[in-house]
C-alpha cells in the first residue's frame, strides 16, 4: 500500500510517519520510506544522526538516472530528457517494486536499521544555496512523483511518504498516488484548517482520507476534533514519553512505546489494509494520465519541445499484473 502522512507544520506528521514505519517493521512488513518534505526530518525521526541524515542522496540529484531507468524500452518516450515528473508508464517501461534491488534504489535509497528490522529510506533533498530564488518546492518532489507513477506494490508491502506541510502537494497530482492519506491534526482551529483544504480538494478524486488526532490531552480536545472532522477521525495519539525521549535522540526500544499508542498505530495499519479492497488500478492510471496532460499543456510541452500527450499509452493500465520484470 502507498500511504501518505500530511498535516500543517508542527502537527507531528513526521513523528507519526516514523512511528508508523517502526510499527510496520515490527510487524515484519517490507517498507520503503520517502521523505518528500524539503524540511527533511524523517531520517532523524528514524534514528539517523544529523551527519547520516545529511548524507542521504537527494532524489532530485539523480533524476537523469531515474528517468533513463524507468523509460526502459517504451517506444513512446524518445529520450529521458523528454520525461517530466508526471510521465506515465506504458508498454516497455520499467516499474519499481518495494521488495527488489534496482539501480534507482542503489543510487537513491539507503538502508536504515530499526529495532525490529531494516527499511529503505529515500529523500527528496533539501533546498541548497543554488536553489534560492530559482527553484521551487515542486521541482524537488518531481522525482518522487515520477517514482510513484512507476511503482507497483502489493497488499503486504508499504510505501510510506512524509509529505510537505500544508496543502502544497495539491500543486501536482501526487496527492492522488496513495491508497490512504492520514492527516495529522491538532485539536485547534489551525490544526483542522489543513483538513478542510484536503477534504475539499480530495473529494473529486476519490482520495481516502482519515484524520489522526495528535497532542490530544483530554475529552475537550477529543470533542473538538469530533465536532470539526466527524467520521473522518480515525484515532488519536496520546502524550508519549517515548516520543519525548526520541526527540532528544535517546529513544528506548520501540517495544516500550505506550500500549495505547501502539494500539493506535495498529488501527492505522488496519485502515491501510482495508483500503486495499478499494484499489482501482484503472482509476489510478486514468488520474495519472489526467495530471500528465494538464502538466503537458501548461508547461511540459514548451519545456521539452515534445508533444507529451503522445507519451500516453491508451492500452496500458498500471497494475500488479503489469509488474513483469524486464531484461536489464
Indicate the domain borders of the chain.
2-306
What pLDDT is recorded for position 139?
53
What pLDDT is recorded for position 112?
97
Report pLDDT digits (tens) over 130-184: 443 434 445 568 899 999 999 999 989 999 999 987 666 666 788 899 999 999 9
DSSP state for residue 327 in the 8-state scheme: P
For the segment(s) 2-306, the CATH number from 3.40.50.300, 3.30.70.260, 3.20.20.80, 3.40.605.10 is 3.40.50.300
**Mean pLDDT, residues 82-95:** 96
CB 256 within 8 A of CB 19: no
pLDDT above 90 for 284: yes
The rounded distance, in Å, linking the Cα atoms of 159 and 98 is 7
Helix locations, the chain, DSSP H: 13-26, 42-45, 50-54, 63-71, 103-108, 137-149, 189-202, 219-229, 241-247, 259-275, 281-295, 301-304
pLDDT-wise least confident of 63-67, 135-139, 187-191: 135-139
Q: Which residue has the higher pLDDT, 238 or 257?
A: 257
What pLDDT is recorded for position 140?
66
Residues forming a β-bridge with 122: 34, 109
The answer to whether the predicted template modeling score (pTM) of the entire model surpasses 0.85 is yes
The pLDDT-based confidence of 98 (bands split at 50, 70, 90) is very high
C-alpha cell at 45: 525521526
pLDDT above 90 for 94: yes
As a whole number, the mean pLDDT across the chain is 90
Amino acid at each position: 500500500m502507498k500511504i501518505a502522512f500530511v498535516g500543517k507544520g508542527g502537527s507531528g506528521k513526521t513523528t507519526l510517519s516514523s512511528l508508523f514505519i517502526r510499527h510496520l517493521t515490527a510487524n515484519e512488513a517490507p517498507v520503503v520510506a520517502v521523505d518528500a518534505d524539503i524540511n527533511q526530518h524523517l531520517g532523524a525521526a528514524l534514528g539517523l544522526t544529523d551527519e547520516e541524515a545529511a548524507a542521504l542522496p537527494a532524489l532530485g540529484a539523480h533524476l537523469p538516472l531515474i528517468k533513463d531507468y524507468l523509460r526502459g524500452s517504451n517506444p513512446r518516450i524518445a529520450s529521458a530528457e523528454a520525461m517530466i515528473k508526471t510521465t506515465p508508464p506504458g508498454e516497455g517501461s520499467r516499474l519499481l517494486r518495494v521488495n527488489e534491488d534496482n539501480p534507482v534504489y542503489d543510487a537513491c535509497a539507503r538502508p536504515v536499521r530499526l529495532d525490529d528490522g531494516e527499511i529503505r529510506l529515500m529523500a527528496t533533498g533539501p533546498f541548497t544555496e543554488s536553489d534560492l530564488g530559482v527553484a521551487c518546492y515542486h521541482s524537488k518532489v518531481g522525482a518522487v512523483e515520477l517514482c510513484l507513477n512507476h511503482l507497483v506494490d502489493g497488499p503486504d508491502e508499504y510505501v510510506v511518504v512524509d509529505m510537505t506541510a500544508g496543502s502544497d502537494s495539491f500543486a501536482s497530482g501526487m496527492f492522488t498516488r496513495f491508497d490512504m492519506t492520514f492527516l495529522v491534526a491538532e485539536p485547534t482551529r489551525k490544526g483542522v484548517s489543513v483538513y478542510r483544504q484536503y477534504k475539499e480538494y480530495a473529494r473529486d478524486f476519490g482520495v481516502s482520507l482519515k484524520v489522526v488526532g495528535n497532542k490530544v490531552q483530554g475529552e475537550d480536545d477529543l470533542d473538538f476534533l469530533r465536532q470539526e472532522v466527524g467520521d473522518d477521525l480515525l484515532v488519536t495519539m496520546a502524550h508519549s514519553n517515548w516520543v519525548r525521549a526520541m526527540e532528544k535522540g535517546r529513544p528506548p526500544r520501540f517495544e516500550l512505546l505506550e500500549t495505547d499508542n501502539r494500539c493506535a498505530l495498529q488501527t492505522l495499519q488496519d485502515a491501510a489494509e482495508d483500503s486495499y479492497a478499494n484499489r482501482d488500478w484503472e482509476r489510478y492510471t486514468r488520474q495519472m494520465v489526467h495530471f500528465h496532460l494538464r502538466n503537458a499543456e501548461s508547461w511540459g510541452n514548451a519545456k521539452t519541445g515534445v508533444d507529451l500527450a503522445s507519451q500516453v499509452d491508451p492500452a496500458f493500465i498500471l497494475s500488479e499484473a503489469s509488474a513483469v520484470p524486464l531484461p536489464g
